[in-house]
Structure 1
């Protein structure tokens, strides 16, 4: 059971890819820009986590659903995938909202 959380994150990331592909939201709209934005977002939040850990604010939770693999002090492997999911989801929602608002404006103008 120690890999369940990581598997859930990977399935969720797969869902983001499917939505992105279906609606051309992020990577399937502008892949180079998307890669840059995603990497910058993940790095920002990793730095945030490392600073929080260093200041004694963030701690690794113990659960049987996690792998127990650490990529840093108090920083589990799953955190990297969670941050990737968080950033990817945010960009898909943002781009989806932009497309929806654009469509509604065009319909109102017609």
Structure 2
């Protein structure tokens, strides 16, 4: 049992939180709304995964880097953390990109 992948995911989530905190993009802008959006995204993608598993489309890949712990058939412990990272990354990229583009547009004028 190895937890390398889980550790990398947790570090990546922590790094996203640092960027978020520095520029107040998501949680540090409105924590309640951000928590709700993140929870909805996580539930959506977990449902997607579970349906894909049930239909025989998604399978767990074996690797030495994962813990080997399953929270459901074919659903590894690391999957919710990956989905949290994916949703968090998206919700930091969107306002961050908007901010960069609006500043860029302001410099052109």
Q: Same fold (TM over 0.5)?
A: yes
Give the SS at the match of 1:27.
coil
Aligned length: 109
Find runs of 4+ consecutive structure 1 residues off by over 3 angstroms: 105-109
What is residue 49 of structure 1 aligned with on the other side?
A: 49
The residue number in structure 2 matching 1:72 is 72
Structure 2: stretches of 5+ with no match in the other structure: none
C-alpha displacement of 1:98: 1.4
TM-score between the two structures when normalised by the length of structure 1: 0.94
Query: Aligned-residue CA RMSD in angstroms?
Result: 1.1
Task: Report the counterpart of residue 99 of structure 1 in structure 2.
Answer: 99
* Range moving further from structure 2, 53-62 or 97-106: 97-106
Q: Deviations over 1:55-74 (max 9, x none)?
A: 00000011111001111110
Tell me the CA shift for residue 75 of structure 1: 0.2
Q: Distance in 1 between matches of 2:94 and 2:55?
A: 32
